[in-house]
Amino acid sequence: MTHSYDSTPIVAIATAPGRGGIGVVRISGKDLSEILSNLFGSTVLKPRHATYLDFTQADGTVIDQGLAISFKAPHSYTGEEVLELQGHGGPVVMQMLLSRCLEAGKEVGLRLAEPGEFTQRAFMNDKLDLAQAEAVADLIEASTEAAAKSASQSMSGAFSKVIHQLVEKVVHLRMLVEATLDFPEEEIDFLEKSDARGQLSEIQKSLRAVFEQAAQGALLREGLNVVLAGQPNVGKSSLLNALAGDDIAIVTPIAGTTRDKVTETIHIEGIPLNIIDTAGIRHDYDEPESGEVVDKIDAVERIGIERTWNEVQKADVILHLLDASRGPTRADEDIAARFPSDVPVICVWTKIDISGHHASVDTVGDLTQVYLSAQEHLGMDLLRQELLRIAGWQQTGESLYLARERHLIALKHAHEHLEQAAAYAAQNDQSLDLFAEELRLTQDRLNSITGEFTSDDLLGVIFSRFCIGK
């Protein structure tokens, strides 16, 4: 599938905003000779060698002094001619240098680059496939060492390589099936003679292994949204502070202290976890033993409770906090009844320093209960390990590649097509045409990961999320 893009030369400041020792302005285009002449006159830049010179205005006034490096196509990041100007990293100096470049390239249509446009051109010019291009952004955004290592793996082509190997296996099987369709007299016992079912089984096995690796890598990139939910004063804010190792949330004995969500990102074995502390959930029927209603919910707290339920609906994992010193209540049961059925829940019994329970994990069927004291830091490691377990994290000892949600979706769809192919294979040679079609769809899904079959609309979405200058 071919993709079109605007091939006019582009320019941008390639270093992060703010002050720094060095700043870089990058230009890319099919032919930069006129821009180079306007910027440096008769000075000739030797490709891939740094030249120290003055960066000047059109009238000869010096803007800065620094290094100019030119790269000839196709031996550059974008596959086009590239010029990088390395000067001092002050924002005013960089803007002056950028303006000068735009002026020097006015006649050839030099314009400011869109976010991710340099990397998009690298993809269009076959310097990177789409998975590698996405890994560039992931490496820049990596929040942990593990995520950075995995992004680097993907950027070097490790993820793309295993996808290509899968595609080759699918293509080989397609070739056999479609050749048989072209010569129907050879159809007799085709599935048996070619071991098509065995080949299909091997492809399915390989795909499952790739998906497991990709899912682990996606955890490193995306992390998990972990929502703390429960009644007021069960220790949600104390637990957030204990997990974060700092006083992030205000902790008081007054019910309803937390009125809005408080979010803190922590890392457990390199996995980012977005811990979301929410307003305590209480009901209008909450009342003391005397039967006299007290502490009516005010309007602000009611809004906070509504927002809590909104966060619960978006959670990857719910920590349902319960007070071990008083045991389960009707309100706890009503809260649990409203949790989404498809979201994992860990029941966290708090305040065991008061209740007398020991720090422990109890799992019966699908119900996992952790007993801890956030105040005394008892049982916190047990909770951390349960969070990793419920997230499906496994220390494989292998270098992971960083995957994105769209990669996982493509792999899931490929798996579904292979399952359907297996169903047709079970009908012997009666459905070879349908078998071949499912293999073609599998190939398309896999190719969408590396960009060999990708819509221009998807490319626009992917690259628009890059930073400018990359």
Binding residues for Mg(2+): 237, 258
- Of the chain, the end-to-end C-alpha distance in Å amounts to 24
Buried-state track 74-83, b at ≥16 Cβ within 10 A, e below 16: eebbbbbbbb
| Residue corresponding to tokens 């952790």 | 370
Closest CA to 231 of 288, 294, 280: 280
Q: How far apart are CA 94 and CA 16, in angstroms?
A: 11
Provide CB contacts within 8 A for 252, sequence distance 6+.
Answer: none
360 neighbors 379 (Cβ within 8 angstroms): yes
Q: How far apart are CA 384 and CA 346, in angstroms?
A: 11
Give the DSSP H/E element, type plus range, for residue 449.
helix 432-450
Annotated binding site: 26, 84, 127, 233-238, 252-258, 277-280, 470
227 neighbors 239 (Cβ within 8 angstroms): no
DSSP state of 428: G
Q: How far apart are CA 293 and CA 283, in angstroms?
A: 11
15 neighbors 86 (Cβ within 8 angstroms): no
Q: How far apart are CA 241 and CA 229, in angstroms?
A: 15
Q: How far apart are CA 411 and CA 404, in angstroms?
A: 11
Q: How far apart are CA 328 and CA 239, in angstroms?
A: 19
Annotated binding site for (6S)-5-formyl-5,6,7,8-tetrahydrofolate: 26, 84, 127, 470
Q: Measured on CA atoms in the order 75, 77, 83, 88, is the torsion positive or negative?
A: negative
Q: How far apart are CA 243 and CA 141, in angstroms?
A: 23
425 neighbors 197 (Cβ within 8 angstroms): yes
Q: Which residue type occupies 133?
A: A
The distance between the two most distant Cα atoms of the chain, rounded to a whole number of Å, is 94
Give the DSSP H/E element, type plus range, for residue 272.
strand 271-277
208 neighbors 256 (Cβ within 8 angstroms): no
Helices 158-182 and 145-155 pack at an angle, to 10 degrees, of: 40
DSSP state of 126: T
**Whether the bond into 74 is cis, omega within 30 of 0:** yes
Provide CB contacts within 8 A for 376, sequence distance 6+.
Answer: 353
Task: Give, in degrees to the nearest 5, the angle at Cα 112 between 107 and 115.
Answer: 150
